[in-house]
Chains A and B, each alone.
Chain A
Amino acid sequence: MDIDGGIGAAEESSRQMQVRFVTKLKPPYKVPPNSIAIPSNLTRFGLSVLVNNLLQADNEDWKTEPFDFLIDGELVRMSLEEFLLAKGISAEKVLEIEYIKAVAPRKEEEPSLHDDWVSAVDGSSDRFILTGCYDGFGRIWRNPGNCTHILDGHSGPVTSVCFFKPKVENVDDQIVATASKDRTLRLWKIGAEQSLDQPKRISAFKILRGHTAAVQSIAAQPSGDMVCSGSWDCTISLYNINASDSEGDIVSVKKRRKDGEDREFQSEGEALSTLVGHTQCVSSVVWPQHETIYSASWDHSIRRWDVETGKNSLNMFCGKVINCLDIGGESSALIAAGGSDPILQIWDPRKPGTLSPVFQFSSHNSWISSCKWHNKSWFHLVTASYDGKVMLWDLRTAWPLAVIDTHKDKVLCADWWKDDSVISGGADSKLCISSGIPVQ
């Protein structure tokens, strides 16, 4: 086979080995399935060049694309020779190398500026980005730099935001929830979009009270009926978002009369139930399945709660303060958590009898403020840290796939958006969006 000159120089002094490239990518990315001999000292970059050459041989107007390579389910991060030695794989046989598109941001969007620190971000809706800010406003961004709505109402910094999954595919009716240090949660309705230059200020249609200290985290039920929140008062409260009881109505009527015409209908809600068990600030809650809530706390524990009974079904002691938590990965069961040290730890609660993490990623330099699993992929994670970096991780290698350091200060939140972008907000009051990340 014809190999480009860049590799040709290295080829002479090294051994050859037989490989075959396979992929699960769609046809334009497919290379011929016959095996070829390549020098064994090729690294990931060399392999990528090689595959690109192969593809170019078939397709004249091929644009070079970085690839990542998997051997036996592990990403190649050193030269082939070293990799095979380290893993004890025989080089005698024809080696099958699977290639995937390299997971790294291709493009940095223009940062969306806020008035204060961006404390929370949610990208679970494809249409919007929802951010919470220390100035007490939530913001809805249609696309980078284009703020459509400002959620006005909190008297303290917004600490956490979340989208509700729309029950019906009604585009006009999107409900979001925000939590704030003013001890309340607010629910907002986002109507049909207006193509105005000025963002539209909307106010909450419901205020959820009950916490006696700052609300730190919020999570919506997957079905979209309930919301739970973790707070500095060590409790997790569950709220029903739809049922508006009579008491709430009375309150709202009073308010409306007082405030005049420009206020919309606003009701108040109390907590449906409270999960008590944590002894310190509940820093993060996740509601991955209908009946299960995971919570992380400053009391060094991660707990799993059964929503129906309010019982604590799992209590993992981690030995450090946990700031962020997410459930995902293989069959949506792995727990990823980061806290008061630079190590991202991943546990598998299905493993009996052990509380030692199955994966540990420690490339950050400071506290991890946020971690999120990719929605579709079992392997990919994004983390944000106080050292100002956002990192992309693959479970199949211990090195970060990509490091995004567009932030100038602490990164406080990060999330995936539209499956191929990473959004992150930080103490430099910017919402950064890195797009073009090909996670298949």
Chain B
Amino acid sequence: MKAPRRNGSEKPKNENLKKSLEKLKANNIEEIVKRIEDAEETVVGSSEDSPFYPSSEEYDDDESLSKDDGSIIESGSQQSDLSEDEDSVHSRDDDDESSGSDDDNPSGGNDHGSGDSVSEDEGNDNRHAEDNLGESDDSREIVEESDSSEDEVTPRNTIGDVPLEWYKDEEHIGYDRAGKKIKKKERQSKLDSFLASVDDSKNWRKIYDDYNDEEVELTKEETKLIRRLLKGKAPHADFDPYAPYVDWFDWDGAKHPLSNAPEPKRRFIPSKWESKTVLRYVRAIRKGLIKFDDKPKEEPKFYALWDDSTSAERQGLAYIPAPKPKLPGHEESYNPSPEYIPTQEEINSYQLMFEEDQPKFIPKQFNSLRSVPSYDKAVQETFDRCLDLYLCPRVRKKRINIDPESLKPKLPSRKDLKPYPTTCYLEYKGHTGPIMSISTDPTGQWIASGSADGTVRIWEVETGRCLRVWDIGETIAEVAWNPLPELPILALAAGEDVFILNTKVGSGEQEEKIDELLNVDHQVATVESDTSASIVSWGHYDKHGGIRLKHFKKVTKVEWHRKGDYLSTLISVLIHQLSKRLTQRVPFKTKGIPVSIAFHPTRSIFFTATKKVVRVYDLLKQKLIKKLDAGVREISSIAIHPGGDNAIVGSTDGKLCWFDMDLSTRPYKVLRCHPKDITRVAYHRSYPLFASCSDDCTSYVFHGMVYSDMNQNPLIVPLEILRGHATAGGRGVLDCKFHPRQPWLFTAGADSLIKLYCH
């Protein structure tokens, strides 16, 4: 037997017992409440029975207990008993005094925890019910005897606050006061209990007390009580929660604090939570999560009144007040004392002084105020003052605070851009007139020059020795060395002729080839195209050998194509093919008078520069590609970067324009460096250098780096001014050419000198 053993230890745990009972009751009460609510919702005006089906079923399901209908069916007079019963559940903890004689507990039953108990026949059931009835009567009597308060009803069962499932498998549910077993009642089958509940109209009031294994029926008062509780009111209707307060305390003579308890200890020990908070702050400070800005911002007490800075924190007036005029003194009186009045000599001496030093006011004496004339400068001064106010507001000037140095473009140092020509080491002397044009041999061994004295000379670059002189007899406008190293021939423009001469610096085989190439029959002027027939005649040049192309007008420029077979001459633009002795006009219309011409270094593109614009033509498609607008007075020369995408243009007003043809048709940079006409511009073939020479006897050398990266603009750095030429006949340096392989620059001057500038 488990239960009795436990029963002994039950006593000290009366509290717990009570609680569990309350819980139990609360469950029941909840059940009741539910039912009540349901009833209220649905039953009104209908039959009493019908609404309870679901609830009773729920009851069955939840509790897994079979109801003992029979035992509950009582006469209506037992309400008070029931309430007493209920109360006895409540206050079981009280005492055992009244329990005494409840020996016979005829109730027997099934396993009441098991939900699958098989129901027995109804008759049996009824019999049990009667037993129960009797029994309950007994207990009622006892309660009434023993208890003084009406609430206290001792329970039948004395097992205490133990889980009821301990008795699940037993035949009894516990013990009564006499220590006898209380038998479980017979269980009804669910069907039976259901039918019973349907029949019984008062079934909804019944709850099953499984502690005592009995059904109790709630009285009307009890349901009312529950209702009140549900509404949150006091359980008893006669309780007035708002009864007037009666202050029973006698306040008279209460001089001491209400509590005489000593100060609690916690008032004297440091707070644990505070210290934890402090620790948290300390950690946060150490980690830097909390920062302190201890120093209050110091407001400057003083400010520089005349400071130029226009910072916002500067205080003070936004304008500068006008200086206060001097207060009038005695001398300005109409009748000053005689010592203020200057003598005539002093007045005369004022005349000798500078106007600024003269006193503004000369005191004069008048007999009366009436005789004082009006102020003669009044109108003038008012007008001036108005002008001042109008034109010169006395407001502090806002200056932009920018270092002028920072506005300069950042250019790399010249030292990093070496090598570039700096010093003249070699001079080529021999010409007697201004040297109009020079041209270098593609190998860099020779240089040719054409002069106004009618001669063309070939020089050895290395030593400055004149190798060959041709006397043409007419001013040489241009010399151009064939760009092919294996074809050392020279084209030169003199007067109305273009000559192509053999320089005879090639090797034997080359010489033969050249001779063959330059051999033209005397009288035959080849006429291939109708248009060219009238303008150019090809012929043999008797004086020095070679070819003579006779034009109808003065030829100013000669330019070779990179393949060395075509050359272009300039009056109107003509292109000659050397191997076929063919001349043709440029197949497109050129507007304006061309000043200079150039072939694209890699593609079949042709540049012509008129005085205002540079036109770029595609020779294959025979159309205009681009028009470069330099925006200068008059273009004098053009040079194409070896990469082909950039060009420089020199003008007669001393401006040098760099065009990035991918970028724009306007100049990328305009360099205004020469005071006089730029006569020639030149690019170096391999080094990032370009140069310009001018009539002011100087040549400028620039670093002109073109990057293969399309996003990067060309870098242009002025490097060196090359001086040395003397002016002759108002002209300075007439031509400049770079050495094809070295960073050297040749300049040809009007002083009949060629100079070589080396790095």
Contact = CB atoms under 8 A, between A and B. Distances in A.
A320 interface: yes
B759 A386 contact: no
A280 B444 contact: yes
B758 A341 contact: yes
Interface in A317-351: 319-321, 323, 340-342
Interface in B44-79: none
A253 B758 CA distance: 49
B425 A212 contact: no
B213 to A, nearest CB: 112
A366 B426 contact: yes
Interface string B515-539: 0000000000000000000000000
A410 B425 contact: no
Contacts, number: 55
A232 B425 contact: no
B507 A410 contact: no
Interface string B412-433: 0000001100010110000000
B445 A213 contact: yes
A117 B465 contact: yes
Contact of B463 (A232, A280, A341, A412): A412
A267 B4 CA distance: 147
B507 A183 contact: yes
Interface in B290-329: none
Contact of A340 (B464, B507, B759): B759
B426 A386 contact: yes
**Chain B interface residue bracket vs A:** 10 to 19
A239 interface: no
A340 B445 contact: no
Given A281-B445, A319-B419, A340 B425 contact: yes
Contacts of B507: 183, 212-213
A299 B443 CA distance: 12
Contacts of B444: 280-281, 298
A51 interface: no
A281 B445 CA distance: 9
Given A212-B507, A280-B444, A367-B426, A340 B742 contact: yes
Interface string B435-458: 000000001110000000000000
B330 interface: no
B464 A410 contact: yes
Nearest to B419: A319
B462 interface: yes
Contact of A213 (B419, B443, B465): B443
B741 interface: yes
Contacts of A319: 418-419
Contact of A298 (B419, B426, B741, B759): B741
Given A117-B465, A280-B741, A232 B759 contact: no
Nearest to A117: B465
Interface string B496-516: 000000000001000000000
Which has the most chain A C-beta neighbours within 10 Å: B426, B462, B465? B462
A282 to B, nearest CB: 12
A38 interface: no
Contact of A232 (B418, B443, B742): B443
Contacts of A369: 463
A429 to B, nearest CB: 12
Contacts of A212: 507
A340 B425 CA distance: 8
Interface string B366-401: 000000000000000000000000000000000000
Nearest to A365: B425
Most buried by B among A232, A298, A340: A340
A361 to B, nearest CB: 17
B466 to A, nearest CB: 11
B463 A340 contact: no
Categorize the interface residue count of chain A. 20 to 34
B463 A410 contact: yes
A218 B507 CA distance: 19
B371 to A, nearest CB: 90
A286 interface: no
Contacts of B418: 319
Contacts of B419: 319-320
Contacts of A323: 462
Contact of A214 (B423, B445, B464, B742): B445
Interface string A214-225: 100000000000
Contacts of A410: 463-464
A281 B460 CA distance: 13
Contacts of B742: 298, 321, 340
Nearest to B464: A410
Contacts of A340: 425, 742, 744, 758-759
A137 interface: no
A320 B426 contact: no
Nearest to A212: B507
Contacts of B445: 213-214, 232, 281
A341 B424 CA distance: 10
A386 B465 contact: no
A407 to B, nearest CB: 14
A432 B462 CA distance: 22
A412 B462 CA distance: 10
Contacts of A384: none
A208 to B, nearest CB: 15
A256 to B, nearest CB: 21
A134 interface: yes
A134 B465 contact: yes
Interface string B722-759: 00000000000000000001101000000000000011
Contacts of A117: 463, 465
B425 A386 contact: yes
A427 interface: yes
Interface string A272-289: 000000001101000000
A319 B759 CA distance: 9
Contacts of B423: 341
Contacts of B464: 386, 410, 427
A298 to B, nearest CB: 7
Interface in A100-140: 117, 119, 134
Interface in A289-321: 298-299, 319-321
A342 B463 CA distance: 15
B116 to A, nearest CB: 105
A424 to B, nearest CB: 15
A337 to B, nearest CB: 15
A57 B294 CA distance: 93
Interface string A44-79: 000000000000000000000000000000000000
Contacts of B426: 366-367, 386
Nearest to A211: B507
B739 to A, nearest CB: 10
Nearest to B424: A366
Interface string A153-173: 000010000000000000000
B463 A427 contact: yes
A322 to B, nearest CB: 12
Interface string B539-552: 00000000000000
Given A340-B759, A386-B425, 10 more contacts: A134-B465, A157-B465, A214-B445, A340-B742, A341-B425, A341-B758, A369-B463, A386-B464, A427-B463, A427-B464
Interface of B: 418-419, 423, 425-426, 443-445, 462-465, 507, 741-742, 744, 758-759
10 contacts: A117-B463, A212-B507, A283-B462, A320-B759, A341-B423, A386-B425, A410-B463, A410-B464, A412-B463, A427-B465
Q: 9 shortest A-B CB distances, which residue pairs?
A: A340-B758, A366-B425, A367-B425, A212-B507, A232-B445, A280-B741, A183-B507, A321-B742, A117-B465
